[in-house]
Chain A
Amino acid sequence: GAVVSQHPSWVICKSGTSVKIECRSLDFQATTMFWYRQFPKQSLMLMATSNEGSKATYEQGVEKDKFLINHASLTLSTLTVTSAHPEDSSFYICSASGGSSYNSPLHFGNGTRLTVT
């Protein structure tokens, strides 16, 4: 089946530093990838839609300068948390689909647990 690889699986960083999270589709091309944030015992919250070759579309309330998204190829999207602060600590997860229609399942990476100290 389709595989999405997300790296790193966990990261601890100091306040003020930046952290890059990678999301790769391993056996299919993904023109669109999605980035989510999840707080403990809550559902996934869509942060942004990453489109290959164009700017990402951010959801309302998500700071685009804080969460930089780059989708440079059909198999790789990156999320950079810039100048991280403790309130950015969360579980970040990406998803990708080989198709954009309603009946194309989305496959998820295993998530990245970010802790900012």
Chain B
Amino acid sequence: AQKITQTQPGMFVQEKEAVTLDCTYDTSDPSYGLFWYKQPSSGEMIFLIYQGSYDQQNATEGRYSLNFQKARKSANLVISASQLGDSAMYFCVGRLTGGGNKLTFGTGTQLKVEL
């Protein structure tokens, strides 16, 4: 079965510090996409960053970067220079060929940025 695992239910980080949110995945398919979404308390799902299984370089989008370690099947999200507005739930999501191209969600990490 395709599976996405987020082992950190909650994280705290101080403003302006960097934080890493962990994500591991389990698939035997060679082709897959990994996404990170942010869900603030208002509920909308905001797309942050994408990493494809064949991508040679780690994805970066502004303050977001993805530490993709294919051999370890991990795709950790790194947020640099945290801001108060980064406080939200973060979901690691896989779009795995073997899962019919549906999304597979991790359980999420609640991030709180403190002053």
A residues adjacent to B (C-beta < 8 A): 34, 41-44, 46, 49, 91, 93, 95, 100-111, 113
Contact = CB atoms under 8 A, between A and B. Distances in A.
A37 B52 CA distance: 26
Given A43-B108, A46-B103, A105 B47 contact: yes
B91 A102 contact: no
A107 B43 contact: no
8 contacts: A44-B91, A44-B105, A46-B103, A49-B100, A93-B43, A102-B52, A102-B96, A110-B42
Given A34-B103, A43-B108, A44-B91, A103 B44 contact: no
Contact of B101 (A43, A100, A107): A100
A111 B43 contact: yes
B107 A49 contact: no
Given A49-B102, A103-B33, A113 B43 contact: yes
Contact of B52 (A103, A106, A107, A108): A103
B50 interface: yes
B95 interface: yes
Nearest to A113: B43
A106 to B, nearest CB: 6
Given A43-B91, A43-B108, A44-B91, A106 B43 contact: no
A65 to B, nearest CB: 22
Given A43-B108, A101-B101, A108 B45 contact: yes
Given A44-B91, A95-B103, A107-B47, 12 more contacts: A42-B107, A42-B108, A43-B91, A91-B43, A102-B31, A102-B33, A102-B101, A103-B52, A105-B33, A106-B47, A108-B44, A108-B45
